[in-house]
Structure 1
Amino acid sequence: MKTGRVGKLVVSLGLVTLALLTSRAVLIHQVEDGTTAKGKVVENQLPASKIPDFNAIKDVSEKKQAFFDYLRPAIRHQNAIIADERQFLKQSLQHLEQQNLTEAERFRIEGLASKYQLAMRSINQNTLTQLLERVDIIPEDMVLIQAANETGWGSSRFAKQGLNFFGQWCFRKGCGLVPQSRTAGMSHEVAVFDSVEDSVASYLRNLNSNAAYSLLRSIRADLRAQNKQPEATKLVYGLIHYSERQEAYIDELLEMLRHNKKYLVDNDAKRPSV
């Protein structure tokens, strides 16, 4: 393994958290009740690709750049939504320390707690701090690299037919596409989304709420406590449970981050405020 001393420590912590998770691998890519796929029944085979034919681009550099450019707008839009939610919660925390919250603030906080699957019996400084740990952006380069890894640079059937760029599962019969190599006895399907925006939003919400990625959120919170921005090369260790390959998967993502650095840089783009 190539993750280094610090990386090994983080991975070890991640392995410890496995005891807190269900033994079923469905937590890794779960879409709750198929709701992020609009909760509709879809056919298990869709006829045509919904995305550009990236395989038709013969130049590898052009193909990679085209794939990243295709996904960037949705990633930035969804991260901007999360950044706005986070700013609201930070302001609410300040208001709570100074005075009582308004009914409108309480209503929105309760909505965000539901969205990010945090049970809140009451709204106080502690619960708002817990919610802030979940409501935070995911580095754009990490999202792009995971999408490239999970879809083979947009060539997978699930990306082309279901706009699923992150291998997320659903569990109602007919909720998505049936994997051709699904293990006997398994009932999951690969979720189908109506848009790239829906796919990205579901993925970000998954990382920010699923118990499998509590380590990722802890790493990010520690960086925030040090007044540091979340970085892909650090948060990637929190994906230890995203794949059954675990450490090998992390090493692969780190290698992809290094190898594709020039395609991930976009100096002209505005980043969401945090």
Structure 2
Amino acid sequence: MTRTHRPLTTLTLVLALSIFSVLTPSYAETSKPSFQMPDLREHAAGSDRKIAFFNLMIPLIEKANDEIQNDREWLLHMRDQPKWTTGSRKRLASICNDYGLSCKNEQSVKWSSLLSRVDTVPIQLVLIQAVEESGWGTSRFAREGNNLFGMRCFGNSCGLEQIGTGSGYQSFDTVYDGIEAYMRNLNTHRAYEKLRDRRAALRDKDKNVNALALIPSLQNYSIRGDAYLAALQSLLSTNAPLIEEMRVQDSDDPA
């Protein structure tokens, strides 16, 4: 594939190399990516900043989805098993707890409900929401709190305060922690039940689960309502070709 991008700046290359190094198999098996959000304002607005942002986010989103997919495939395998070990029951209970469900044992599991939650989020959807909510990673909440998805919190001394409003935004130790929290939010919060139902329906019909299909289910993500959905659709239309090109580039990199 012919590349038409302008040369990456030094900071972008450092970001890409650091991300790649933390996602090698030996590291991924023992720990999570631990870096924080860099200041992408050092990149000129436009293609340079877009490339830097996607270089940063794509490997992390893919890793988070891989973790979810591993649990999903295990559940699909175990669902029809007649015998469960103590270890398997403990893993089931842990997964159910992580996704806001109670599973006393394998006989009590509501499999359709559990599997509708333990499922991946299309990478394009994650990226365009991060773009919309964080201004290509340049918002204060992204830079200071690794929160690229506008996730709020409530209570005294909660997260990062939005000056002049009395409300706050969640703060995370790492960019990866923020991505995991965002995916867990979509996969568990009652506000996004329509998204989970839509995704499950597409799975049942063996249809492609993609950003375009799920965007209409995010009406509750923002008080902007239809205007928010239109903004996401516009971002998707504008950036989908670059996202796919960079995903191919990332997958072609030597392991």
Q: TM-score category by the smaller chain?
A: 0.7 to 0.9
| Residues 257 and 167 (structure 1), Cα distance of their counterparts in 2 relative to 1, 3 Å cut | same
- Equivalent residue, structure 2, for 1:149: 132
- Equivalent residue, structure 1, for 2:168: 189
Q: String of CA shifts for 1:177-200, please: whole Å, max 9, x gaps.
A: 110242xxxx54211110011000
Matched, 1:173 2:159: no
Matched, 1:202 2:181: yes
Matched, 1:114 2:97: yes
SS in 2 for 1:260: helix
Residue 150 of structure 1 contacts residue 167 of structure 1 at CA under 8 Å; is this kept in 2?
A: yes
Matches within 5 A, 1:16-165: 51-58=37-44, 60-95=46-81, 99-124=82-107, 127-165=110-148
Q: String of CA shifts for 1:184-237, please: whole Å, max 9, x gaps.
A: xxx542111100110000000000000000000001001100112310001112
Could you tell me which runs of 5 or more consecutive residues in structure 1 were left unpaired when the two chains were aligned.
1-49
Residue 239 of structure 1 contacts residue 250 of structure 1 at CA under 8 Å; is this kept in 2?
A: yes
- Equivalent residue, structure 2, for 1:22: none
Tell me the matched-pair count: 214
SS in 2 for 1:144: helix
SS in 2 for 1:240: helix
Q: String of CA shifts for 1:79-126, please: whole Å, max 9, x gaps.
A: 00000000010011121xxx1322221111111111000233553386
Matched, 1:223 2:202: yes
SS in 1 for 2:89: helix
Residue 116 of structure 1 contacts residue 134 of structure 1 at CA under 8 Å; is this kept in 2?
A: yes
- Divergent runs of 4+, >6 A: none
SS in 1 for 2:183: helix
Q: Output the CA distance in 2 between the equivalents of 1:236 and 1:150.
A: 14
| Residues 52 and 162 (structure 1), Cα distance of their counterparts in 2 relative to 1, 3 Å cut | same
SS in 2 for 1:267: helix
- Equivalent residue, structure 2, for 1:243: 222
Q: In angstroms, what is the RMSD of aligned CA positions?
A: 1.7
Q: Output the CA distance in 2 between the equivalents of 1:232 and 1:269.
A: 20
Residue 169 of structure 1 contacts residue 189 of structure 1 at CA under 8 Å; is this kept in 2?
A: yes
TM-score (norm 1): 0.74
Q: Greater relative contact order (Cα 8 A, min sep 6): structure 1 or 2?
A: 1
TM-score (norm 2): 0.79
Q: Output the CA distance in 2 between the equivalents of 1:152 and 1:137.
A: 24
Q: Output the CA distance in 1 between the equivalents of 2:164 and 2:238.
A: 30
SS in 2 for 1:167: coil
Residue 93 of structure 2 contacts residue 102 of structure 2 at CA under 8 Å; is this kept in 1?
A: no
Identical pairs, percent: 35
Amino acid at match of 1:171: F
Residue 93 of structure 1 contacts residue 125 of structure 1 at CA under 8 Å; is this kept in 2?
A: no
Q: 153-162 or 165-174, which moves further after superposition?
A: 165-174
Amino acid at match of 1:245: R
Matched, 1:267 2:253: no
